[in-house]
Structure 1
Amino acid sequence: MTRTFKDHFSGHAATYARARPTYPDALFDWLAGVPARRGLAWDAGCGNGQATVALARVFERVLGTDPSAEQIAQAAPAGNVEYRVEPAEAPTLADGSVDLVTVAQALHWFDLPAFYAQVRRVLADDGAIAVWSYGLSQVSRDVDAAFMRLYDQWLGNYWPPERRHIENGYAELEFPFARVDGVPAFEMAVTWTLGQYLAYLGTWSATQRYKAATGVDPIERIAPEFAAAWGEADTRVVRWPLVLRVGRQA
């Protein structure tokens, strides 16, 4: 039996869909060349479909699954994309039907033995799996200092325990597949206003837990500090390094 779905995002799914950064096209261009075919990609834990829609550009068909109906309701449509409300541990996919399995910033929420058993079942013999995460954003010295005060001092006690896997780049999570060598380094980079940046901080699970526990919005409280650190610039580039693991059927 799979463990209970830990739902940290359904309550603010619409905001999550608007405020989260998107992944670089270069990531999906590279991933398209890893499996032998580009028939079907399965994006597990797809959330609002950011990676799902990006995969649709380079695969014939894409299935995005997520246990949150609220997240799926916010998912971006595409002609060759299908969304299903179902957990990663119980996909309604045929044996050996998938060329590429992807998990974008969600692996740490899964029941890994159950999920990996399903990956082995649905993945084609010459298919592949790619999982990735991104950690702390980088803007400037002053903005990053304010960020760390929010992240550690204000929200430190409100992060789910699974957050440590994001912080260490999934180093402690099992990945029982034959590793693909020569994986390039990728990063996300967006040009945001201060308002967009603060909206992103508001989507964090710890931010939502802080609000629920205290009745106070921590982003509103710390916004003046971020404004001073942001300075006079209308926009700034925000970056996140991606940690990517890619493997094949072992």
Structure 2
Amino acid sequence: MNKFVVFLGIPLILTASMAWGQAIEPRPVAPRQPEGQISLEVQEYQRLPKSGPVAKRLSAFQSFVDRYPGTQLSLRVIRDAAIFFILQDTGNDLESLGECVQWMGKHLESPAFEWARYRQASDSLILDRIETHVLYARVLASYADAISMGGAAERSAGVYNRALTVLNEAQTEWDNHPNFYRLRSDLAEGIDFTRAWCLHGKGNYRDALRGYTNFLDRFPSSDFVPAALWNASQCLQVLDPSGSQQRMSFYHQRLEEEFPGSPETAMLRSLRNSR
């Protein structure tokens, strides 16, 4: 893992993604389909492969969404695909990750999934639509990370920008429903953290640092806190390594005292041992 200690890289994808995965809980399924098709859709959903080759799983996801565009279960299949790529450490599989990004974008930007279709829907369905969009941004950011680590910084900047646009779209819909914070505060966390992450990846360290700092103030008990502490310290290291020692030490101390078993603390110790 030492080669990834520099700043963003794969460790952030892994640790932040694990935190996201822990926050996801099963919710009641209520697909909107004509009578007689509901059971078929649910059955097909339940038969989707939960293991096996990436290409096979992605193909099954694609086929399901093509058959049932715009439904709640299709949203959850897209969400499941995103979580799969985030949690399975597929950062080195640039081709599959890129295919997933194209597939998700193709559907989420299509008329079947446009925001206007969900305006009169249940809170559960609208929340699923927002969550899927946030996860799409997460996959875009992961894809941009992988591109950047391959040496194509200019190309990755465009993908980060796309992720930021997707986050803004999710934020706009989220802001239209003030009651959603009580129901799913983790989505607000995901939007804010991923925005800082994208700015960090683009090299906008000052804006990223501000984002991480605001995140730590706003969500002190979030599962993303260890990643935010570590990433904030890395931004400081780039911006002002000599003048920010006290603040960096504070973030590192918090990691060691509050999150001794976190991957970020392990990276911190590894960095110290390598000096």
> What is the TM-score with the length of structure 2 in the denominator?
0.31
Which entry has the higher C-alpha Rg, 1 or 2? 2
By percentage of residues, which structure has more strand? 1
> What is the TM-score with the length of structure 1 in the denominator?
0.33
